A and B are shown apart, each in its own frame.
Chain A
Amino acid sequence: MDRKLVKQRSDYKWLLERSGKMRVDGIIYASEALIAEMDNKVAEQIRNVASLPGIVAASFAMPDAHWGYGFCIGGVGAFDPGQDGIISAGGVGFDIACGVRTLHTGLKLKDIEHRKADIADKLFGRIPAGVGSTGKLKLTPQKLDEVLTGGAVWAVEQGFGIPRDLRFIESGGRMRGADPAYVSKEAKKRQEEEMGTLGSGNHYLEVQQVIEIYDEPVAKAFGIELGDIKISIHCGSRGLGHQIGTDYLKQMTLAAKSAGLELPERELACAPLDSQVGRSYLSAMRSGINCALANRQILTHLVREAMAEILPQADIQLLYDVSHNTCQEEEHSIDGKKKKVFVHRKGATRAFGPGSPDLPEEYRTIGQPVLIGGTMGTASYILVGGPQSESLSLGSSCHGAGRQMSRTAATKQWHGKDVARKLEQQGILIRSASVRGLAEEAPGAYKDVSEVVEVSHAAGLATKVAKLVPLICVKG
């Protein structure tokens, strides 16, 4: 990024001063190295979001910010309905509530290392993944509506999990205010056979080992020990979420014209929260969140079934589930007053600090787990929401490193089979439906997530708890 676009305020805080049509400042949390890597478009998008009606606090960007659709990926913006605030489909994205869920297994490396290939094959055989994959559930329209209002709560009621799981998911596993009447029939049609599927691209299911602990007391509270085997799932709301994004992007774009809303770029299509389109999108987006929560809950059930068949001593319990493409109604302190605002986190993770009532009792004095995924060949991290995250970023943090190489360039650089072979030599077993997909997802195509995590830690957004490395990776 051109250094003239920002002013450095501290080691990790960069300011885009309010000017022109901006209603608030822009704030980027990054190191010098990350700022240098960011494209100028990130600054432009931060400024564009800052100019939208009803924005409060600031237009934020997290350490992993890169060029997105309307909002930058890693963008955070909160809007006050009392100040004609808006809601933006671009501020949530097409994969509504894409997120990460991490599971305890009760196992150590010695329990699995002689069975790694069997575990990899079992999980790959059990978890539907890739283009055209279908889940075991075929839902009637009525059942799908129950998913869209019930989320993970619905899934547990159907036998896909245990009640304890729900306490370790944001919003208790169910987003209130969802209304499937505002989800199109096309979106529902796309989801009929997709419940309990992983998807493709950068989605994955990984068996991981904890190789480093940075904060012993917090790790203990989260149930993490050195050497633990964990399982992490990264996926979202599948075809239903994608279609909701598509439907409402068009509606908001066309409605913006007639409402006299000047959009700096079309992907920033938005609508007043107090408008028919705004209310409709909110209801539909919340349905999308429930779809994603139910999807990850069903996948958890499939993992439990698979592991029970191969390692009956495994005890799969939920550590936590986070979403990183959402708009949530939350109470925050804005200019010294408590206010209910609508917080868009686009490729950014909620990172509530200690004391938040939404956290389960076990974590309430500690802070929220923040789950940051790596690539197939690199580490993932577990962080904890910092006590300052509320004042720094409305309780937000990064979500993972972005790409440093396009998909086309990656397929020219690597062949999928070589990527898998090289990772296997490092002890990481890959199971994927797509050889070409593996090349596109090669570790070298992504930036280094550890720098992003270090900055989140140093800036106080979310601090490091543990580092995990992949042992088995299932990809679509």
Chain B
Amino acid sequence: MWEHFHHLADIGVRGTAATIEEAFEDAAFALMAVICDPGKVVPKTAVEIRCDAPEPDILLADWLNALIYEMDVRKMLFSKFRVHIDGETLSAVAWGEKADPARHQTAVEVKAATYMELKVVKTSDGQWIAQCVVDV
């Protein structure tokens, strides 16, 4: 499940799922929903992403920042993600297409995933939560 949470100047993104990887995928979807309607993005082109970080929450920030980087340099938007985490390493594939502002109704660029409200935790009912505030 993905959602946005309130932050006055910017916006929080959150993924909640049964596994940490799915929570990261849902957080990525929430990131896309800040920028556009992900339902309008056709997942036709694959981009591989890899990042490393010593802590799961910094790994989340790195993952989202890697997506922001790829969107910026490829002028793409994404709507489908497959994440694999092995220790401190995340390897993933993101699928999307070239950004078309009119069709995708893009709202705003995301500057970065921040460390504000940054959290990757497993709750007592076994759900993983992955969240942070993104700077728009």
Contact = CB atoms under 8 A, between A and B. Distances in A.
Q: Do A and B come from one complex?
A: yes
Interface of A: 39, 66-69, 73, 93-95, 130-132, 134, 186, 189-190, 192, 194, 199-201, 239, 242-243, 245-246, 249-250, 253-254, 265-267, 269, 402-404, 406-409, 411, 433-437, 440, 476
A407 to B, nearest CB: 6
Nearest to B10: A407
A33 B5 CA distance: 27
Nearest to B98: A132
Using C-beta atoms within 8 Å of the partner chain, give the interface range for chain B: 35 or more
Interface stretch (B14-22, B86-94, B109-117): B109-117
Nearest to B36: A131
Contacts of A194: 72
Given A246-B112, A267-B116, A408-B4, 6 more contacts: A130-B101, A200-B106, A249-B114, A265-B116, A266-B118, A407-B10
A253 B114 CA distance: 12
Contacts, number: 118
A151 B87 CA distance: 42
B73 A200 contact: no
Nearest to B113: A246
Contact of A434 (B73, B105, B118): B105
Interface string B99-111: 1010001111101
A134 B61 CA distance: 26
Nearest to A437: B107
A94 B135 contact: yes
A406 B99 contact: no
B8 A67 contact: yes
Given A199-B109, A440-B107, A406 B6 contact: yes
B105 A266 contact: no
Contacts of A437: 106-108
Contacts of A436: 105-107
Contacts of B58: 250, 253-254
A262 B77 CA distance: 38
A266 B53 CA distance: 15
Contacts of A134: 75
In the A-B complex, the 7 residue pairs with the smallest Cβ-Cβ separation, listed nearest first, are A131-B106, A132-B99, A266-B115, A436-B107, A242-B111, A94-B111, A437-B107
Contacts of A66: 8-9
Contacts of A409: 6
A200 B101 CA distance: 12
Contacts of B126: none
B75 A73 contact: no
A95 B4 CA distance: 22
A266 B133 CA distance: 13
Contacts of B7: 406
A406 B68 CA distance: 21
Given A200-B109, A243-B69, A434-B105, A406 B11 contact: yes
